[in-house]
Amino acid sequence: MIAKPRPRLLEKRDKQAATNALDRAENAKVKQRSGGQCEVREMFRVDRWESERVTGEPTWRYLPHRCALRASHVHHLISGIGRRNVGRSITAECKLHVCDRCHEEIHGHVLKPVNDYEKEAAATVRYERIK
């Protein structure tokens, strides 16, 4: 007599429960890292007038400014259909703790990452305002 295999539905539920537990643990790390403050660093363009006096042309530099609002959402830096909570995207290094306003502006494409190669790690991602 052959034993009946475990139903696939139960296997699927166990896998989903394990993924949810890992996601909650990683979200707790993100919230601890942020200290409750929004982690969005927005780059502001500032002119350097002293260089204009010397060279005759203004040069620009970007200064980072961290949002001072209270964070309430965990934003996935790696997203898309079938990509969130899969592989690297579930880790704390690929998530940001953000406020309501910044979260809406990121999803509304008002805030966009400055460099494409930096946008998938919370330690390096910086945003600039497009609109």
| Main-chain dihedrals φ then ψ at residue 58, nearest 5 degrees | -75, 140
How far apart (Å, rounded) are the C-alpha atoms in residues 54 and 64? 25
What pLDDT sits at residue 17? 96
What pLDDT sits at residue 48? 61
Q: What is the mean pLDDT of each run of 10 residues along the chain (131 residues)?
A: 92 94 95 95 72 61 85 89 77 94 93 82 86 69
What pLDDT sits at residue 89? 85
What pLDDT sits at residue 26? 95
What pLDDT sits at residue 85? 74
How far apart (Å, rounded) are the C-alpha atoms in residues 3 and 34? 50
Q: β-strands 95-98, 73-76: how paired?
A: antiparallel
Record the pTM: 0.77
